[in-house]
């Protein structure tokens, strides 16, 4: 995969008919749905069936399982992701016919033309911050359009065409997609090295965020100053005269969070912005989610919301799927699923999970343990972060490690999940278990689990199948039915 260069896009009414290759992907399905919603003839294929692909079919997209050249049909534009290989038969057919071939970021940029565009970027927290911003604007009556990298837990949808002037998108930095969008408000949640297989060095990666923040259409930058990388960028931007709104718990934050306390299953704090101050209470846990909400709040104020309207709307956010998502609470055992796949994201998820474990023990009198089930994603990322993955696994009482989900990458000799196991042992993890095959994970976790435990599956690959399968096994326990 290579870094992308921004391109000129045609108006959206000139794009169709449009065909999406790998339409069921998290970055593709929401965009395909918006084209279909606009009445543009839209088709899409993917190598395997999925909930997302079936949802697209219900939305009016003609879908195919598997790839065949003839499925390109009458398309004038073919949309691909960075994961599509050059020898994909549909892509080969499109190029042979001289069709317009766009990366998904260009297809999204065409939809964003003429709108007030909010692009949410950062190494971590993009999906939740984008979702919070979209929900806040919708709850406050602004009817935004949006494309999020994960479905909202309340609607199951990751995108919408709204009648309002705001268009909110999750802006992916991994392949430089974020440079394609006509961004007015640039949000940067943090800057911590990742995707070095594309960017080469941490310095080049950080420089990409500066390019994003200083794009020709950017008027405002909303940026986290609790993170070292984004704080450094905030200082540079402010020194160069850019309009910067800082957020976080730091004393110099413009949107400042303080007095943090747990609030049921969520979290509460004091939020201060200029002369406005008051309590913000979220339905999702963790200081990291307060940071995400602070960014969304800043966007809301830039788009005309009052303090009270923004805070009240954010309090109605119920989360996105695969972000500390409760799968089951059966036989006294809670199972959560989380998309975290970078060491910093895993640390945030396990910190929130630890608090939830301790709260559960306090309520029940049990001695429940935190069990982390981690599936590393990508061979390149595992090479870069194996030691950090092992270190963060020490936050769990039991770490269950799966083999690597290679996704778009070919296997690398000697690079397996055992690298993370070895690192966890080296860093003093309390108990580490290696389960190579993902389909063996549900049974292994069921054997380990006892009442009071909190189990959380972690990773952005197909580890998401584990929670529901484990839920079925837990339901067969005698204590689940009171026997």
Residues near 301 by beta carbon (within 8 Å), at least 6 away in sequence: 273, 307, 310
The reported pLDDT for the residue numbered 409 is 86
Write the pLDDT tens digit of every residue in 114-170.
999 999 999 988 999 999 999 999 999 999 999 998 778 777 788 999 999 999 999
The reported pLDDT for the residue numbered 481 is 67
Domains of the chain: residue spans and CATH: 12-103 (3.40.50.720), 114-314 (3.40.1190.10), 325-481 (3.90.190.20)
**Nearest one of 422, 401, 404, 423 to 413, comparing CA atoms:** 404
> Binding site annotation covers 123?
yes
Virtual torsion, Cα 62, 68, 73, 76, nearest 10 deg = 100
First to last CA, the chain: 54
> Binding site annotation covers 183?
no
> Binding site annotation covers 281?
no
The reported pLDDT for the residue numbered 1 is 53
The reported pLDDT for the residue numbered 482 is 59
> Binding site annotation covers 330?
no
SS3 content of the chain, % helix, strand, coil (to 5): 40, 25, 40
Angle between helices 287-302 and 307-314 (to 10 degrees): 140
Measured between alpha carbons, how far is 174 from 163 in angstroms, rounded to an integer?
30
- Mean pLDDT per 10-residue run, the chain (483 residues)? 86 95 89 96 92 90 96 97 91 97 96 97 93 96 93 81 96 93 97 85 94 97 97 97 97 97 87 97 90 98 98 91 84 93 90 90 92 95 94 97 90 96 96 96 96 95 92 90 59
Measured between alpha carbons, how far is 206 from 236 in angstroms, rounded to an integer?
12
> Binding site annotation covers 122?
yes
Residues forming the active site: 126-127, 170
The reported pLDDT for the residue numbered 291 is 96
Write the pLDDT tens digit of every residue in 191-247.
987 878 889 999 999 999 999 999 999 999 999 999 999 999 999 999 999 999 999
pTM of the predicted protein model: 0.77
């Amino acid at each position: 995969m290579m870094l992308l260069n921004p391109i000129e896009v045609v108006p959206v009414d000139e794009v169709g008919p449009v065909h999406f290759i790998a339409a069921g992907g998290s970055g593709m399905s929401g965009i395909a749905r918006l084209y279909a919603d606009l009445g543009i003839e839209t088709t899409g294929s993917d190598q395997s069936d999925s909930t997302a692909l079936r949802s697209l079919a219900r939305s009016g997209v003609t879908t195919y399982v598997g790839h065949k050249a003839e499925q390109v049909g009458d398309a004038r534009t073919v949309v691909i992701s960075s994961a599509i290989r050059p020898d994909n038969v549909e892509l080969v057919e499109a190029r042979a016919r001289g069709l317009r071939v766009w990366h998904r970021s260009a297809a999204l940029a065409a939809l964003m033309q003429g709108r007030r565009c909010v692009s949410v970027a950062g190494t971590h927290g993009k999906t939740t911050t984008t979702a919070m911003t979209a929900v806040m604007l919708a709850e406050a009556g602004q009817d935004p359009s949006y494309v999020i990298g994960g479905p909202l837990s309340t609607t199951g949808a990751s995108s919408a065409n709204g009648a309002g002037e705001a268009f909110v998108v999750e802006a992916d930095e991994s392949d430089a997609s974020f440079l394609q969008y006509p961004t007015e408000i640039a949000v940067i949640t943090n800057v911590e090295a990742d995707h070095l297989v594309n960017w080469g060095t941490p310095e080049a990666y950080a420089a990409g965020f500066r390019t994003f923040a200083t794009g020709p259409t950017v008027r405002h930058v909303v940026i986290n100053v609790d993170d070292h990388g984004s704080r450094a960028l905030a200082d540079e931007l402010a020194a160069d005269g850019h309009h910067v709104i800082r957020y976080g718990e730091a004393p110099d934050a413009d949107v400042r969070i303080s007095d943090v306390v747990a609030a049921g299953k969520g979290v509460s704090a004091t939020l201060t912005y200029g002369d406005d101050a008051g309590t913000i209470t979220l339905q999702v846990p963790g200081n990291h989610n307060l940071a995400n909400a602070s960014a969304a709040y800043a966007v809301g104020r830039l788009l005309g919301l009052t303090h009270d309207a923004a805070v009240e709307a954010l309090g109605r956010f119920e989360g996105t799927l695969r972000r500390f998502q409760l799968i089951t609470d059966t036989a006294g055992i809670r199972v959560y699923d989380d998309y975290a796949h970078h060491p910093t994201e895993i640390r945030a998820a396990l910190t929130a999970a630890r608090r939830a474990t301790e709260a559960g023990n306090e309520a029940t009198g049990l001695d429940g343990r935190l069990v982390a089930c981690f599936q590393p994603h990508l061979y390149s990322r595992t090479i870069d972060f194996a030691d950090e993955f092992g270190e963060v696994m020490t936050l769990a009482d039991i770490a269950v490690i799966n083999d690597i989900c290679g996704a778009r990458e070919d296997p690398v000799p000697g690079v397996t999940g055992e690298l993370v196991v070895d690192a966890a042992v080296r860093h003093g993890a309390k108990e580490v278990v290696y389960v190579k095959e993902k389909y063996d994970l549900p049974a292994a976790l069921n054997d380990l689990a006892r009442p009071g435990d909190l189990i959380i599956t972690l990773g952005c690959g197909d580890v998401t199948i584990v929670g529901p399968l484990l839920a079925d096994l837990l339901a067969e326990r005698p204590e689940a039915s009171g026997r």
